[in-house]
Amino acid sequence: MAELSNAPAPTPDQLVDIYRRMIRIERNDDAIRKTIRLGRLVMPYYSARGQEVIPATLSSLMTDDDKICTIYRGIHDMVAKDMPLRPLWAEIAGRVDGTCKGKGGPMHLTHPESGVMVTTGIVGSSMPIANGLAWAAKLDGSRRVTIAYFGDGASNIGAFHESLNLASVWKLPVIFVCQNNGFAEHTRYENGTSVDFIAKRAIGYGMPGHTVDGNDPLAMFAAAHEAISRARDGEGPTLLECKTFRFHGHVLGDDDKYMTKEEKAAAIAKDPLPAFKAWLVEQGHATDESLAAMQATIEAEIEDAQEFGLASPLPSVDELRRDVFAQEIPA
């Protein structure tokens, strides 16, 4: 694995911005889980609680013009990219004001204005499409970058290997971000993956690969800065393996039979949110009061989005004939 170069240290504003994105993800996830438990949302939910640092840090270095392709466990990636929450909530509730008019749902949320180009329910399929977005950036002569998010399980599917090879041969401005939470659905990492570090696979495709503590904002910032700069400067793709943990299993309701209670508790004890918050205050980058005010603003935004989404009308059945093709299918 290549050594990280000396990326500039994040400014206090950047650090607080990363925390803002993290707490927005965490509060939103909490609200979704509570609403599902109350029976007011009916949806399959793949919580990314615990994985906040990864997209929060990467998004802090991206512009609205930069693109992401993500997966079914990807609402944190969208929230980090500052996707507005009203259409997000309306979509997961299956309503007309949803970003996809209620036709995609939580596994296919799309919001091109925020750069959320594709959300796929198929393991590994964010990567081939991210390459095309990156190819377009090159053809446009633009410096924009594309991130493909995926999990550790996706590094074992063919699409990963085809995509990394093509991105390298074509020197595409794309970053492959593996959020390695230690489990591919229910299968423990080492029982399904041939190497101890996914980043090692980058060697086989002629690109830099780094394994990073995905729960450490400073380590993530350095890795993200290097990979994004490299892509913007036309030097080609990078594979980032960000080690993390998912607090709520594969899908909400999962009883986590495939790990011990102790193991899970130990991983949850490393929750990056309270630790980063305390560090920001300790370093003098923020105060308890300023962060509480930030959180209150975010909670109000989420509450508003939730009310908006759940109050939005249901789609008309005519929608089945719309958006199949550009032209509506006759009744």
Partner 1 sequence: MSAKKMNSLQAVNAALHQAMADDDKVIVLGEDIADREGGGVTGATAGLSTKFGDDRVKSTPISEQAIIGAAIGAALAGYKPVAEIMLMNFTAVAMDMIFNHAAKLRFMSGGQSTVPITIRTLTGAGWQTAGQHADHLEGWFAHTAGIKVVAPSNPVDYKGLLLSCIQDPDPCIFIESAGSLFIPAEVPDDLAPIPLGKARVVQEGTDVTIISWSSQVIRCQQALAPLAEAGISVELIDLRTVSPWDKEAVLASVAKTGRAVIAHEAVRHFGPGGEIASTIAEELFGQLKAPVRRLGAPYSPVPFAKVLEDAYIVSPERVVETVKALMA
CA 41 to each of CA 46, 268, 311: distance values in angstroms, whole numbers, following the listed order? 14, 26, 12
Q: Is 65 one of the binding residues for partner 1 (CB under 8 A)? A: no
Of 115 and 214, the one with the shorter C-beta distance to partner 1 is 115
**DSSP state for residue 155 in the 8-state scheme:** G
Interaction mask 155-174, partner 1, x per CB under 8 A: ---xx--xx-xx--xx----
Closest CA to 106 of 125, 87, 124: 87
Does 131 participate in binding partner 1 (rule CB under 8 A)? yes
| Residue whose structure tokens are 């991206």 | 62
> Which listed residue (108, 143, 232, 264) binds partner 1 by CB under 8 A?
108
User: Residues 23, 54, 58, 117: which binds partner 1 (CB under 8 A)?
Assistant: 117
List, as one string, the DSSP characters of 190-256: HHH-SSS-GGGGGGGGTS-EEEEETT-HHHHHHHHHHHHHHHHTT---EEEEEE---TT-SSTT---
Pick the binder of partner 1 from 55, 128, 217, 237 (CB under 8 A): 128
CB of 75 to partner 1, least distance (A): 15
Position among 32, 133, 202, 240 found at the interface with partner 1 (CB under 8 A):
133
Q: How, if at all, do strands 67-71 and 187-188 pair?
A: unpaired
> Residue 100 or residue 267: which is nearer to partner 1 going by CB?
100
- Answer for which of 9, 122, 195, 251 binds partner 1 (CB under 8 A) is 122
CB nearer to partner 1: pick between 304 and 323: 323
How many residues contact partner 1, by CB under 8 A? Answer: 47
What crossing angle do the helices spanning 158-169 and 126-140 adopt, rounded to 10°?
20
146 binds partner 1 (CB under 8 A): yes
Contact predicate 87/98, CB 8 Å = yes
Listed ranges 9-17, 77-85, 98-106, 268-276: which one lies at the site for partner 1 (CB under 8 A) = 98-106
127 binds partner 1 (CB under 8 A): yes
Nearer to partner 1 by Cβ, of 162 and 254: the residue is: 162
**Nearest distance from residue 246's CB to partner 1, in Å?**
24
The CA-CA-CA angle for residues 166, 51, 131, to 5°, reads 15
232 binds partner 1 (CB under 8 A): no
The yes or no reply on residue 143 touching partner 1 (CB under 8 A) is no
Which token pair is 136?
């377009």
Can you list the positions of beta strands (E) in 109-168?
116-120, 146-151
Intra-chain end-to-end CA distance of the chain, in Å: 58
Shortest distance, position 122 Cβ to partner 1, whole Å: 5
CA distance 206 to 198: 14
137 touches partner 1 by CB under 8 A = yes
User: Residue 289, interface with partner 1 (CB under 8 A)?
Assistant: no
Asked if 277 interacts with partner 1 (CB under 8 A), we say: no
SS3 state of residue 7: coil
105/43 Cα distance (integer angstroms) = 8
Told to check if 175 binds partner 1 by CB under 8 A, we report no
DSSP-derived secondary structure letter, 111: B
Query: What is the binding site for partner 1 (CB under 8 A)?
Result: 67, 69, 98-104, 108, 110-112, 117-118, 120-122, 125, 127-140, 146, 158-159, 162-163, 165-166, 169-170, 322-326
